[in-house]
Structure 1
């Protein structure tokens, strides 16, 4: 048995340990020492300023984070960033403010700028780690939205969901017709994809006619319908072709001035300078919507459509950035939500496409789903996409190492018809002259798989180094969108020698954005192609370059240039999807139709959501996307106002 004295000593020791632990003491090497608790030690910052970096959407984001004692982030300074002006850069500042206000890293991404938001959080997280802070503890701090649980109610004649080109146009024309309009936008930016677009097509605009270029309307409509296999709404096609010209003058009168150009026989209208567009659209809304008693509400996401007892749409339920629920009652609702191209899973399921989303990340199909839930029909041709440009996967990484011109070498070669193109298996899949036309290039590639490979030999690279694109007999400059070469226009010429070309391609391979092989067999292995399939395609192509006859695809002799000697490189080329096409079936008044093809009362759709009436399974226009957005918005807004004011 233990003695009473032993029991007393044991109890005394236990008490000492308990008291010591309460006051932050512990045992180290047999001695009782004062030390902070594990949680405190892990979460305590070391006072000072630390840098953090993370890869954003358009480049590296670098921050300086100032820490002070008591587990506090005192300040965050954005040192450098290249995110999209007005959207990505704005998101960085909003995330910064939220981190500082809540002392938390559990911040929601800003709508439409999730990549930029996540990168900002990651950059701050990296700085916190350098300071010895507890990242997990900061991520566990919940952020309560001040408006959560609150409901705000508004009334309008017309509510427009989405403030891109079509939404703004609809809101402005509805207000001009006398309607009280509320327009909501989930991001903080007005203009949507129009802020990124180049030019729109407004058929037979006053400027085009004055220049002497006039389209034969009846022939254009007939060709359009035939080219889309008659699976379009002929009335919708006619309406766009015959009325889009008026949109040019309407925009001009509103202060949104486009510049007409004869683009190889096509009537294109270049949009205003990029940095002026949002401001101009805001002025249009102020002069019409707000002047007429309406509201422009940003950072507010529509959640569902309100419906009446008989199924008529009677308004929109939305959520503001602070968590407040917004109920907007209206007689007409216009969906201008920009499609679903930002929803990778939805695009793959609907169209099988696995390329790049070159549109806006915020367009994830919410408007379509809300409309379907309210009784709208899913169109028979649902799934079409606006595939429009070829991209080289290596470009962004190469720009970190080389000039913009040099980093664009692989992409420029992806637009030339004198090189060999193969699919993931190694099989050649097209006459490469398809690369000369954006839509043809995009769709032939997408039909073949998630990417294709452009094959180039070291002999061809050496020819590029000596004579530029003339060295590989390029018939004309690559058909890149102007914004792709805006910062190297002085070098964007056929005879500009390509300096460092081998170095650039080796870097592309090292970065994992392309492949290299000393032989075609080695290239096939490294690129994951089937060796026999690629060898057969390569040998047939080589024979065609010798005979001038392409038995497989009929490429003309002038484009059948010799491959030359290895090593050989394979550029990973992907297709850029500018947006989804359609998802709601509309009549010429832009009323959304149900399964019986009868209008869902009170519901209208404009822009990409309604564009499926113009195309079969994919977009085949040039400038039609933005031209239709402005035109459908202009006309749809008028009809929505007429419907609302007649009730």
Structure 2
């Protein structure tokens, strides 16, 4: 007779035999993979993306099959990051694998999508090893497709689209290829362009003295520029305004403190408008628009002339495109941090497109193009607070932007990593001056805020610290809180926000000056001397070190605590990399055109600047203008005109 205890013991022994047997032989999948503790059902996963959390619901079925993926929420860049998420979703479902290629230009969004799905699979007890072990063979691998055209344009940003459209309108058959799935490139993220003496500017009573503008431009760049290129842009860019208008891409004139700026169409409409331009010109004239296709190598003839490009489609198919003219419009290399650091010494933030990593330049150099003497210039244009992104997860956009706004005001002491001041802080009132003075000083700078200043901000807003004007941030920085963006809006929760900044590792705090210096990694003696000197200046009204005006030398109080905001510089893009003439022909080491090769946009813009971009709206205005004019030249050669 079995007792209850005996029965339970035998039951446990039986279960052990069953488990051992399963482990030794029975629990093998079709491919010999050991089964996981998988449970079918719906699971929610999430991961941090470029602009926020990507959250998904994954439906898992038997045999570790991913039946469906529903994107519950995401805040990735419209037209780029969000499209990448959808493409990654399709690739995972089609291949039943987590080993998929990320999308060019949206790698962070792509990686977040993969990680979010992985998170859900983990919760289901899915076999991650199996889902990651396989690689999906691309359907086009091993295939080669040969195409012939008059003009091939590499890159479909503002300059590339303009070049393709103009060339097609001149009668050329055009193929334009783009490595991402998005048309428009950086123009989809930009604010405004400069078209000198456009019809809209003249109608609004603002006309630039062309000869004076050209002369000042040349002097300001220490004469190390191509004066003909500058003259062409200043005298021809106004025509681009009307050309874009005729094409349905309407920009709006803005008198920006005496500067002629032209605001681009609404962000959400831009890609559609550019696609329409390509459809009505390139495609209607027998050409093609091919996206998700990356150029790999220029085709050169025996005489050194460029006669086409080899590219790879996302499905693995190799394209060999023969053409009479090749236009480079690949957007530079600002997304390649190693290349930027080596050529310019900059270690800040890439605020441009991640896909712009310089392969277009390298292809052109390999085909005989000259590396410019001033190679390395960047478009440093905005100041950023490292804290903003993390703070937006806890606070409203206005509150999360407190540290950012202070980095744009001249009333606060700025120091470099060592703790020494490095500028008259009124440089913060001009975006290019602010960016370049900081970048010259190091990878970041710090804005020092005292308790008394924070108290004044809490009670009276920026008026409490005698801010001379609203922070000069780009409109997109404050679009979400424009109603609160006033000098007299009190800064509620200011202390709490700054405490969170420190907790998140995006700033520092000290009860004393010495403690702040130590916590921020500054040299204590250097910062202490800097602080004392600055305090003397606030008392006497005379800044003997940098000459900062008296009205901005605001007292900081005599008691702690103190905060240090980490401020970084935003690089909107590299400037230059190829030397061109006014026909936008790429030149070789002897400054003679490489036959068949043209360049437009940022990669050709180095002829306009010494070593650093100092324009406002020029980058975008030049992209459209150089594309329009360069496309004409490329078509003329292709058609024998």
TM-score (norm 1): 0.95
Pair 1:636 & 2:623 matched: no
Pairwise mapping of residues 157-556 of structure 1 onto structure 2 (< 5 A)? Answer: 157-556=150-549
Work out the CA distance in 1 between the residues paired with 2:36 and 2:313: 33
Task: Say which SS state the counterpart of residue 311 (structure 1) adopts.
Answer: coil
Structure 1 residue 532 displacement after superposition: 0.4
Structure 1 residue 44 displacement after superposition: 5.3
Q: Which residue in the other structure is 1:62 paired with?
A: 55
Q: Which residue in the other structure is 1:121 paired with?
A: 114
Pairwise mapping of residues 105-116 of structure 1 onto structure 2 (< 5 A)? Answer: 105-116=98-109
Work out the CA distance in 1 between the residues paired with 2:55 and 2:66: 16
Q: Which residue in the other structure is 1:592 paired with?
A: 586
Work out the CA distance in 2 between the residues paired with 1:436 and 1:136: 54
Work out the CA distance in 1 between the residues paired with 2:258 and 2:284: 41
Work out the CA distance in 2 between the residues paired with 1:526 and 1:560: 25
Mind listing any 5+ residue stretches in structure 1 that lack a counterpart? 1-24
Task: Say which SS state the counterpart of residue 485 (structure 1) adopts.
Answer: helix
Pairwise mapping of residues 2-151 of structure 1 onto structure 2 (< 5 A)? Answer: 28=16, 33-35=21-23, 36-37=26-27, 40-43=33-36, 45-151=38-144
Aligned residues: 623
Do 1:387 and 1:442's aligned partners in 2 also have CA atoms closer than 8 Å?
Answer: yes
The runs of at least 4 aligned residues of structure 1 exceeding 2 Å deviation read: 25-45
Work out the CA distance in 1 between the residues paired with 2:18 and 2:355: 60
Distance of aligned partners of 1:537 and 1:32 in 2 relative to their CA distance in 1, 3 Å threshold: closer
Q: Give the counterpart of 1:609 among 599, 603, 612.
A: 603
Task: Say which SS state the counterpart of residue 285 (structure 2) adopts.
Answer: coil
Structure 1 residue 150 displacement after superposition: 0.2
Structure 1 residue 366 displacement after superposition: 0.9
Work out the CA distance in 2 between the residues paired with 1:479 and 1:240: 27
Higher mean C-alpha displacement, 43-52 vs 595-604: 43-52
Do 2:64 and 2:127's aligned partners in 1 also have CA atoms closer than 8 Å?
Answer: no
Q: Which residue in the other structure is 2:145 paired with?
A: 152
Do 1:44 and 1:71's aligned partners in 2 also have CA atoms closer than 8 Å?
Answer: no
Do 2:33 and 2:130's aligned partners in 1 also have CA atoms closer than 8 Å?
Answer: no
Structure 1 residue 470 displacement after superposition: 0.5
Structure 1 residue 26 displacement after superposition: 11
Work out the CA distance in 2 between the residues paired with 1:69 and 1:470: 63
Do 1:387 and 1:575's aligned partners in 2 also have CA atoms closer than 8 Å?
Answer: yes
CA RMSD, 1 decimal: 1.4
Structure 1 residue 138 displacement after superposition: 1.2
Do 1:42 and 1:132's aligned partners in 2 also have CA atoms closer than 8 Å?
Answer: no
Work out the CA distance in 2 between the residues paired with 1:167 and 1:443: 28
Deviations 1:269-309 (A, max 9, x none): 00011111111111111111111110111110000100111
Structure 1 residue 42 displacement after superposition: 4.8
Q: Which residue in the other structure is 2:4 paired with?
A: none
Structure 1 residue 31 displacement after superposition: 9.0
Work out the CA distance in 1 between the residues paired with 2:581 and 2:409: 41
Do 1:332 and 1:641's aligned partners in 2 also have CA atoms closer than 8 Å?
Answer: yes
Deviations 1:477-508 (A, max 9, x none): 00010001001010000000000000000000
Distance of aligned partners of 1:423 and 1:147 in 2 relative to their CA distance in 1, 3 Å threshold: same
Higher mean C-alpha displacement, 341-350 vs 37-46: 37-46
Do 1:27 and 1:33's aligned partners in 2 also have CA atoms closer than 8 Å?
Answer: no
Structure 1 residue 37 displacement after superposition: 4.2
Q: Which residue in the other structure is 2:562 paired with?
A: 568
